[in-house]
Structure 1
């Protein structure tokens, strides 16, 4: 909470607990307090954050997605990371929702985005795999 908001809230609470009421208000009636913000009470500890406009990455910043079809899942992960793609999502290709716990027991059967696609760093790459025993 900003400092002036805290001060205003404390002042309003003090007025309410002191029993101050507007003229003509019957005794015991709840008091109504209207608070109007005037300028800042000092330097703003929470200055507004300035955002920079989003810009499209240049072609020099794009990464070509490697082809990992048929690779051992661990090797596929290593290949993606070596290319600069670290945001990897793993999916069980059988649709059973199993977690790919022991990466070396799985083989790649799909990927999204497809191999050869140029993507910015930070793009989520989905690696779809099935167990060698499936």
Structure 2
């Protein structure tokens, strides 16, 4: 009987020494769902004044080059007088800081009126042209006695005619006055209100 009890004790002790498996926590997922941040994108500057477009682009670290989009290779002296008509890279394209942006620009008056050649002896419509081009057009039609005035009534001098847009003319388009008649053009600076002329300045 003692031998049986001893054997039973040994068996129970052996069972108690067996190590029970320890449950391991589930492994953390290593697949991340977050994507890398997108790079900088080119802002849209088409239809903006060149001065504003340049300020925006340069503030974001881009280099700017511009050219006359009409192909006339006119010098771009006053950025406020020009409007962006195309850009490369285009808006929303990926473009890191330092990228050169090529802008093509026009004056608001470039497409305002017909570019038909003037008829000799008939007053052409020069409203919405820049003052220099308006004078050239009138002279091509045979009118050389020309004057201009600040249409805002401030009496400012027109030092650079290309910086002004014509909003009125003293002789109606299509009329045929004496060639010695003085034609006075009312003008405002680009970017100023053009009143009832309908010009985009």
State TM-score, norm by structure 2.
0.35
Q: Distance in 2 between matches of 1:84 and 1:99?
A: 25
Residues 4-23 of structure 1 correspond to what in structure 2 (within 5 A)? none
Q: Secondary structure at the match of 1:74?
A: helix
Measure the CA separation in 1 of the matches of 2:121 and 2:162: 25
**Aligned with residue 163 of structure 2, among 88, 105, 113:** 105
Counterpart of 1:70 in structure 2 is 128
Out of 170, 175, 178, the residue aligned to residue 120 of structure 1 is 178
Q: Deviations over 1:57-99 (max 9, x none)?
A: xxxxx82110001001110000001111000011101000111
Structure 2 residue runs of 5 or longer lacking an equivalent are 1-119, 193-201
Match of 2:138 in 1: 80
Name the structure 2 match of 1:89: 147
**Alignment partner, residue 39 of structure 1:** none
Deviation at 1:133, TM superposition (A): 3.2
- Which protein is bigger by CA-based radius of gyration? 2
Question: Residue 64 of structure 1 aligns to a residue in which SS?
Answer: coil
Which stretches of structure 1, 4 residues or longer, exceed 6 Å deviation after superposition?
Answer: none
Q: Which runs of 5+ in 1 are unaligned?
A: 1-61
Q: Measure the CA separation in 1 of the matches of 2:150 and 2:126.
A: 16
Point out which structure has higher relative CO (alpha carbons under 8 A, 6+ apart): 1
What is the distance in 2 between the residues matched to 1:104 and 1:121? 24
Q: How many residues align?
A: 73
Q: CA deviation at 1:101?
A: 1.1
Aligned to 1:23: none
